[in-house]
Amino acid sequence: MQPRAYLIDSNIYIYRAWHGSTIGLRDDQGRALNAVHGYAEFLLRVLEDIQTDRVMLAFDIPQANPYRKEIYPAYKGQRSPPPADLIPQFALCRTLAAGLNLPIHTSERYEADDVIGTLAAHLRNEGLVITLLTADKDLAQLLEGSDRWWNHGRTEVLDARGVERVWGVPPALIADLLAITGDAVDNIPGVPGIGRTTAARMLRKWGGLDEVLANLHAIGAQKFRGAPRAQKLMLEHEETVRLARRLTGIVCDVPLGEVIQTRWQKPALVQVEPLFEALKLPVSLRERWQRLLSAR
């Protein structure tokens, strides 16, 4: 059996921790700590579950020149900024992870999805299979072979076949599918009036978006409901689809430095106690972390 590595899409779980609790304690600088405490418990449960040192964390960080906004300035433009009390907690969660010696990876230009895609490619070169811990189904496009997509805390696990059942196409065609249908969550335009089922039929027929675009005038002759209309819409919005495809695909060659840390080295308890104190971790949570860090 191939060894397995775990890649954590951290910001999603920080948001989940924020929404899962009300603001209680604040640190000595007045910063809220509810998302930090929730994220600390999430990390602890993951590490207790997986029992391995092959775990890496990807974070989204503020960016001056985001890759996808350069392509399409309206990308994610509809999103409201995070709540004021949540914003500083993203950095505090990174501080927590760094204090625990967990491998942290970020990019000043690319998103955490791209960081994860790059780490996945790196780890496959080492002969590992991948489990992605995320609630973002778009990341399922990275799955190959025995890889897994795992929404930790919701007991939802998908392999490549499961992804195909959910999306109607295999993982390698998810970015193509989203280029046709668009993605409202990220404000990515698609073809109005063409949904996932029709897009999946076209992709399965021709095997990929490039092939669909090369056969636009043949769509209307296909034997599925609304084929002539689908052809008309695809012809009208071909350039939109080509633009969207530049946004939906995950970049797998993000510069992450010469040395990519891929193993967790447990810190000494004396190293983390001041951090736990500064973040005011509850006693019960602190004791669980102590037991985990002391185990060999």
Q: Which residues contact 250 (CB under 8 A, 6 or more apart)?
A: 113, 114, 116, 117, 138, 139, 141, 142, 175
Q: Give the pLDDT confidence score for residue 155 in this predicted structure.
A: 77
List the domains of the chain with CATH numbers: 4-167+255-294 (3.40.50.1010), 171-248 (1.10.150.20)
pLDDT, tens digit, 9 for 90 and up, residues 193-249: 999 999 999 999 999 999 999 999 999 999 898 999 999 999 999 999 999 999 999
pLDDT at 296 over 80: no
Residue 181: pLDDT band (50, 70, 90) is very high
pLDDT at 1 over 80: no
For 224, list phi and psi in degrees, rounded to 5. Answer: -140, 155
Residue 2: pLDDT band (50, 70, 90) is confident
Q: Give the pLDDT confidence score for residue 115 in this predicted structure.
A: 98
pLDDT at 154 over 80: no
Side-by-side strand order, sheet with 148-151: 104-105, 55-58, 4-9, 129-133, 148-151, 156-158
pLDDT at 112 over 90: yes
Q: Give the pLDDT confidence score for residue 73 in this predicted structure.
A: 96
